Amino acid sequence: MKARRRVVTSRAAPAKRRPTVRRIKSAILPATRRVLPPAPVAPTQGGNGATQRQVSPPTAGRDGNRPATDQAVDLSVDLGRGLVLANPILVASGTFGYGVEYGDVVDVQRLGAICCKGTTLRPRVGNPTPRVTETPGGMLNSIGLQNPGVDAVIDKYASTWSRWRVPVIVNVAGESIADFTEVARRLDGVPGVAGIELNISCPNVGKGGIQFAIDAEAAGAVTAAVRRATELPLLVKLSPNVADVRPIARAIADAGADALTAINTLSGIAVATGRERPLLGNIYGGLSGPAIKPVALRIVYEVSQVVDIPVIAIGGVTELADVLDYLAVGAVAVQVGTAIFADPTLPARLVEELAAECRRRGLDRHAPLIGTALPKRAGPPSSKGVEYRP
Ligand SMILES: Cc1cc2nc3c(=O)[nH]c(=O)nc-3n(C[C@H](O)[C@H](O)[C@H](O)COP(=O)(O)O)c2cc1C
């Protein structure tokens, strides 16, 4: 995939070191509005998964300068295997339930897709409490995949989903390849199930409990097995808890995934008030929210350079500027997660804001916004070191 090279010029270091302490945004509240960058000259490439329709180059409004405010904007995203999203704003697994819970608050049909709560072969009661805690710029959760099991999920929600215009992607978790494939097999062909997103940040019991997501071979093997078990569009979710995500992303793409989603939560802990033990009942939790956005941006940036399948970004989206940043580093779409707890109307509003932003820039689709910050040739990964370059 081609993109413009960004030349970074080095500047002389300031004479005195200044402290770099910054105020961190309140945990999961939408960030304060940032000034949007000026409309760039749009490159002609369409990005890996955005619909590749050839359109005329970006045009200004009919008067030549004013943005074309009445222009229809094509926000569609083709994820392959017939799954075409109406727009690139999805809701992330575990933060929007099964979609039905939000029917009174939000017009769920306006979303690009809903990734439902993690679903396993058998019901799970989840982890001991406490399961969540707020952190600077985010939250830690250790829900433990509490869910009623795939059969109950199908019985309870699939018929409702089948009447919806918005596609529902079922997030699938398991402890073995057999678990994952059996859940996929049961979901295959069920009306209302538009696709599967594999949560591979789960222990692989057959391999000493090492997560599938941190081992390229295991990640490829589980993807290939699920690929054989279902015709459904297959998304696979990357973990940030690895030194170099690129071989893992490549293994998953080579194994037949239709798209990658990135990222799942970062592993972390909190300490209980009396400091006599860790706070969460499960000790470890997953960090999410604005705090993880730079990590997610870096991973989307690195992965977009090495795979040809679409990449969907996740991590700390709270406003339109976040969406635009992720598109710039190669994502074709984004998922909104933790920010939904503060404002469930945010994802639907982002759809309108993205369309308005395209109009402001004189674009009739969002595809030209994708990949503008990527280098022309794949650069060195962050695992080669950031501070100490050879
Ligand atoms: C409470 C909670 C539950 C989650 N449950 C799941 C899950 O079941 N499956 C999954 O793949 N990711 C799950 N996630 C991770 C999110 O889908 C998302 O990848 C992560 O929170 C980063 O996005 P955010 O910063 O916008 O929240 C969960 C996140 C939270 C906060």
Q: Domain locations in the chain?
A: 88-347
Query: Who lines ligand 1 at CB under 6 A?
Result: 92-95, 117-118, 141, 143, 145, 171, 199, 237, 264-265, 288-289, 292, 314-317, 336-339
What whole-number distance in Å separates Cα of residue 63 and Cα of residue 8?
36
pTM of this structure: 0.86
Name the residue at shortest CA distance from atom 10 of ligand 1.
93
Pocket-testing residue among 288, 312, 346, ligand 1, by greatest number of atoms within 8 A of Cβ: 288
Which of 88, 39, 74, 87 lies closest to 365, judged by CA? Answer: 74
- pLDDT at res. 66: 41
Residuewise pLDDT in 10s, the chain (390 residues) = 434 333 333 333 333 444 333 333 455 554 444 444 444 433 333 344 444 333 233 333 333 334 444 569 999 999 999 999 999 999 999 999 999 999 889 999 999 999 999 999 999 999 999 999 999 999 999 999 999 999 999 999 999 999 999 999 999 999 999 999 999 999 999 999 999 999 999 998 888 899 999 999 999 999 999 999 999 999 999 999 999 999 999 999 999 999 999 999 999 999 999 999 999 999 999 999 999 999 999 999 999 999 999 999 999 999 999 999 999 999 999 999 999 999 999 999 999 999 999 999 999 999 999 999 999 887 778 877 666 665
- pLDDT at res. 389: 60
- pLDDT at res. 110: 97
Distance 276 CA to ligand 1 centre (A): 28
Pocket-testing residue among 264, 297, 318, 343, ligand 1, by greatest number of atoms within 8 A of Cβ: 264
Which atom belonging to ligand 1 lies closest to the Cα atom of 335?
Answer: 26
Distance 84 CA to ligand 1 centre (A): 23
Distance 7 CA to ligand 1 centre (A): 34
- pLDDT at res. 288: 98
**Among this protein's residues, is 202 annotated catalytic?**
yes
Which atom belonging to ligand 1 lies closest to the Cα atom of 199?
Answer: 11
Q: Contact 147/153 with Cβ under 8 angstroms? A: yes
Distance 94 CA to ligand 1 centre (A): 5
What CATH topology corresponds to 88-347? TIM Barrel (3.20.20)
What whole-number distance in Å separates Cα of residue 290 and Cα of residue 111?
21
- pLDDT at res. 390: 56
Distance 173 CA to ligand 1 centre (A): 12
What whole-number distance in Å separates Cα of residue 299 and Cα of residue 369?
18
Which atom belonging to ligand 1 lies closest to the Cα atom of 293?
Answer: 25
Residue reference for tokens 């890996």? 48
And the tokens for 118?
A: 């993690």
Which atom belonging to ligand 1 lies closest to the Cα atom of 338?
Answer: 27
What whole-number distance in Å separates Cα of residue 181 and Cα of residue 199?
13
Computed on alpha carbons and rounded to an integer, the radius of gyration of the chain in Å comes to 21
Question: What DSSP line would sit under 265-330, residue for residue?
Answer: PEEEE-B-TTSSSBSSTTSEEEEESGGGHHHHHHHHHHHHTT-SS-EEEES---SHHHHHHHHHTT
